Structure 1
Amino acid sequence: MEIKKLSTTIDGLNLYLNKVVMDERGVYCDMAPGGTDSPLFKDGIKHIHGSIATKKLVPRGGHYHYRLRENFYTLSGTALWYFYDFREDSPTYQKSYAVILGFEKPKENFRFPSYTIEEGSMAQIFIPPKVYHIFWPLSDGQVVVAGTGSLDYDPSDYARPAIEEVPGAKEIFEEVKEVFKISSLRTAETSEAISIKEKMRANNGVAASLAEFTSHIDTGFASRGDIPKMKAIITAGRNAQLRPMTYTINKHLIPLGNKPMIFYAIEHLVSTGFKEIGIVISPEDKELPKVVGDGTRWDIKIKYISQKGGTLGLGHVIKVARDYLGDEPFILYLGDNIIRGDLKLFISRFFQEELNCLLGLAKIKNPHRFGVPVFKNKKIIKIEERPMEPKSQYAVCGLYLYDKNVHKIIEGLRLSSRGQYEISDVHSRLIEKGFNVGWQPVDAWWKDRGKPEDILEGNRFVLEEITPSIKGIVEENVEIRGKVVLGEGSKILGHSLICGPALIGKGCTIKDSYIGSFTSIGDRVEIYNSEIDSSLVMEGVHIFTPSRLTASLIGKNSSIVSSKNSRPSGCKIIVGENSSISL
């Protein structure tokens, strides 16, 4: 079974979305894939317990443990869960998180994220020690919750603070009651409106009845379940990185897993609910709009914003997009990044905590190549751009949320020594002027830094997530190992070996060849009697060579053939500027 990890606002409190199998009989889901070999159950399973809540809005739980680690599953009905971090040594000490889990999505409009079985994912939530947890049943019927524990039952392992002693818990409860109150009122109003409408039909729709009917329509109510109104912009300006390849192609169009790099940012925003996206491009770029289009393929609108004056940094991106953004809050998403994480969580926290800026952070080994946050009491007090000695292990990744106050900062920004309007300067100035700047960790992150090895790493990053699919022809003597995607019209012939994860596009022919792990091959590629691994091969390439190709980046319509059948023998190379060759 597939399982997807989602981080929350509390360190170590993680959601895992187990894939469900549904048919007319019901639902099946493996609740413990991997059993005790799974990291989720590394401390073992000492007991399994169930809780059946029968009273709507009457809370269950309301405690935390000193040593016990638990996994919970809401199997039937729906519940609102609330968590609070009491760990003084935690990077998220005193942070909270709320989420709706269960079988069906509630009909009431809540502002919290929800993960429900009827939507295709059964969520389990892993709760570390000293993280307070409580849930309120939202369903009229029973709410069934199952759980596993790493220790046997021990009454001394419990701490049961009163709900008034847990910051935010009572407020959440009052908010839940208010939502149900509004929902009940609207239900009553709808019933009354229907009754009035029936009277109108009986009275042939007289004007007095029409006025009575329309007076009951509430046009001002905004659904709390919707994403708050905000805009989104993606960066896609051309630059000199990755030459010679980017002489002929915008790097944001370089295919990772056979899909243009920028598509990942677009699809992340679309999956979150955005219906319109602005893309900031260089004035002379005609190719990217042609490839990306007007958004029709995603059922959204795309507007292109010209970055006049050149690529002068991310601060400049916000500046040129000012007219498009207006005074609305917005997301800035870097088009050469791939970010894994629930954007709804970012957006919910941004509005919930009334932040002026929210930064996505990734914990990495070598953050000195990026903007690095400096912390004091777990709050960001400064952002240092590419420091020689980073003061934390976090890097600011390519995801930023702002309100209109950022425009005031941009107006007073000056060019840095690099000739850029540095985004790190923007963040530091927001902090200096007392604006509320928060941060949220991402699940995983890849960023292009302008080197071929970065592109290959991005390709690897994407291929790790592929789902096996064979739509082409595979001859009898071919061996396929691991996760492999083979496109329509492609043929794997002879004594070939394909080791996944690997992705082969449409209309390809591969014969008597070896395709190694973490290799993506574009459409209409021909490979004969060759070996290639850990590489990215674009469309229309022809390969026929006894030399093994590894960690290679091969542009479209290229040809790599053996020199043995030509005279004079030797390596024949056509090399452009900024190329790299190993012989």
Structure 2
Amino acid sequence: MKALVLAGGTGSRLWPITHTAAKQLIPVANKPVLFYGIEALVMAGITEIGVVVGDTAQEIQAALGDGARFGARVTYLRQDRPLGLAHAVRVARDWLGDEDFVMYLGDNFVVGGIAGVVQRFRTTRCGTRLLVTKVPDPSAFGVAEVTPEGRVVRLEEKPARPRSDLAVVGVYLFTSAVHRAVAAIEPSARGELEITDAIQWLIDSGHDVVAETIDGYWKDTGDVADMLEVNQRVLADLEPAVRGAVDSASVLLGPVRIEPGAEIVRSRIVGPAVIGAHTTVRDSRIGPATSVAEGCAVIESDVEFSIVLRDARITGAGRIEGSLIGRAVQVTGAARTPQAHRLVLGDHSRIQLAS
């Protein structure tokens, strides 16, 4: 059994961070989201992994390498344009051959992994198995209409009037029958080959499609709010460790992980929180649900419920919360309330200013 991991999306909902970084590599608890998916596949016994890449191929390949660090073998499959999930299956057709496979969206996060559902698929070998979960606003997702016995009778992509509250999670298990479906469908109104259309073709053609409701936590990390929520969820299970230097004037409360080379000086760290390698925190407070990556500096500032990417520097910035701060960003406080604001902002930036 193989796995097809999709890592070619543009990440438009995470602009401007994704102008210069692959969305699948934005870290959660200082580890890229994509790594959690690869690890889940390996734990489920799947080590032959094809990764569909696009414009950020070089960055994805540099992060994953040949897959050996995960106990896997990774093959890269180029998708020139993101033309839909079913198009990604078409791109991977020759590599997949006639084997069963798991399709895993690289920006999805599933707590507890997928070993159980993979084992059940291998045992029953129904044509297709989907993971679904109840959501408050199903119109933002692919939506499944499911019988009490778990058979899927209808799928719709982002319907205006959903027939159920079951969203399709970004993990799909297929036999080779899906290739006939992908070849048969036409692009949607969005100009994409929708995987929901391919699965509906299988249903209409008499193939068994089964839905399995997941009880654990799932999130599509498509925007900043989702990233912060997943970061908080992962940090809730943090194993505390102090591998860096913490001076006697500093206080660590709750589960806190200090990585090697980090230095905590006259500061208060309230967990769950993780401080990356070779990061300095001085005369500051790091609050709960915060991850600060490697090589950063937080000086005379208060940061809570945030993700700070590598090499960022925050100095005299007062209180920062609910924020995603990119790589090598510099945040500084003004000496006094400014009469005018001086800004250098990238495309699609969002900023709140005091009046």
Which residue pairs with 2:305 in the alignment? Answer: 534
Which residue pairs with 2:145 in the alignment? Answer: 374
Is 1:509 paired with 2:280?
yes
Which letter maps to 1:265? G
Q: How many Å separate the matches in 2 of 1:351 and 1:476?
A: 55
Q: Deviations over 1:456-490 (max 9, x none)?
A: 22222322222111111222222222211110111
CA contact (8 A) 1:473 1:490 kept: yes
Q: How many Å separate the matches in 2 of 1:478 and 1:438?
A: 54
Which letter maps to 1:389? R
Which residue pairs with 1:331 in the alignment? Answer: 102
CA contact (8 A) 2:6 2:52 kept: yes
Q: Deviations over 1:11-48 (max 9, x none)?
A: xxxxxxxxxxxxxxxxxxxxxxxxxxxxxxxxxxxxxx
1:264 alignment partner, SS class: helix
CA contact (8 A) 1:447 1:458 kept: no
Which residue pairs with 2:92 in the alignment? Answer: 321
Which residue pairs with 1:549 in the alignment? Answer: 320
2:131 alignment partner, SS class: strand
Residue 557 of structure 1 deviates from its aligned partner by: 0.9
Larger Rg: 1
CA contact (8 A) 1:563 1:570 kept: no
Match of 1:448 among 212, 221, 226: 221
CA contact (8 A) 2:22 2:56 kept: no
Q: How many Å separate the matches in 2 of 1:329 and 1:245?
A: 35
Is 1:489 paired with 2:261?
yes
Identity %: 36
Is 1:351 paired with 2:122?
yes
Which residue pairs with 2:75 in the alignment? Answer: 303
Which residue pairs with 1:234 in the alignment? Answer: 5
CA 545–285 in structure 1, closer or farther in 2 if over 3 Å, else same: same
Q: Deviations over 1:288-309 (max 9, x none)?
A: 101211112123211000113x
Residue 382 of structure 1 deviates from its aligned partner by: 0.4
Which letter maps to 2:221? D
CA contact (8 A) 1:283 1:306 kept: no
Q: How many Å separate the matches in 2 of 1:473 and 1:351?
A: 48
Q: How many Å separate the matches in 2 of 1:366 and 1:484?
A: 34
CA 570–532 in structure 1, closer or farther in 2 if over 3 Å, else same: farther
Q: How many Å separate the matches in 2 of 1:319 and 1:333?
A: 15
Q: How many Å separate the matches in 2 of 1:479 and 1:570?
A: 37
Residue 499 of structure 1 deviates from its aligned partner by: 1.3
- Moved segments of 4+, more than 6 Å: none
Q: How many Å separate the matches in 1 of 2:67 and 2:75?
A: 9
Please give the TM-score of this superposition, normalised by the length of structure 1.
Answer: 0.58
Q: Deviations over 1:366-389 (max 9, x none)?
A: 222111111234322101211233
CA 351–297 in structure 1, closer or farther in 2 if over 3 Å, else same: closer
Q: How many Å separate the matches in 2 of 1:402 and 1:237?
A: 20
5+ residue gaps in structure 1? 1-229
Which residue pairs with 2:49 in the alignment? Answer: 277
CA contact (8 A) 1:513 1:529 kept: yes
Task: Give the alignment's Cα RMSD to 1 decimal.
Answer: 1.8
1:530 alignment partner, SS class: strand
Q: How many Å separate the matches in 2 of 1:557 and 1:330?
A: 39
Which letter maps to 2:220? K
Residue 545 of structure 1 deviates from its aligned partner by: 2.0
CA contact (8 A) 2:44 2:118 kept: no
Q: How many Å separate the matches in 2 of 1:251 and 1:462?
A: 18
CA 256–489 in structure 1, closer or farther in 2 if over 3 Å, else same: same
Is 1:571 paired with 2:341?
yes
CA contact (8 A) 2:111 2:218 kept: yes
2:198 alignment partner, SS class: helix
Q: How many Å separate the matches in 1 of 2:253 and 2:306?
A: 17
Match of 2:329 among 558, 572, 581: 558
Q: Deviations over 1:150-193 (max 9, x none)?
A: xxxxxxxxxxxxxxxxxxxxxxxxxxxxxxxxxxxxxxxxxxxx
Q: Summarize the alignment of residues 149-160 of structure 1 with structure 2, pairs less than 5 Å apart.
A: none
CA 284–490 in structure 1, closer or farther in 2 if over 3 Å, else same: closer
Q: Deviations over 1:271-298 (max 9, x none)?
A: 2222221100016622210121111212
Q: How many Å separate the matches in 2 of 1:466 and 1:571?
A: 39
Is 1:580 paired with 2:326?
no
Q: Summarize the alignment of residues 47-446 of structure 1 with structure 2, pairs less than 5 Å apart.
A: 230-241=1-12, 242-282=14-54, 285-308=57-80, 310-378=81-149, 379-442=151-214, 443-446=216-219
2:318 alignment partner, SS class: coil
Residue 541 of structure 1 deviates from its aligned partner by: 1.1
Q: How many Å separate the matches in 1 of 2:217 and 2:62?
A: 30
Which letter maps to 1:398? G
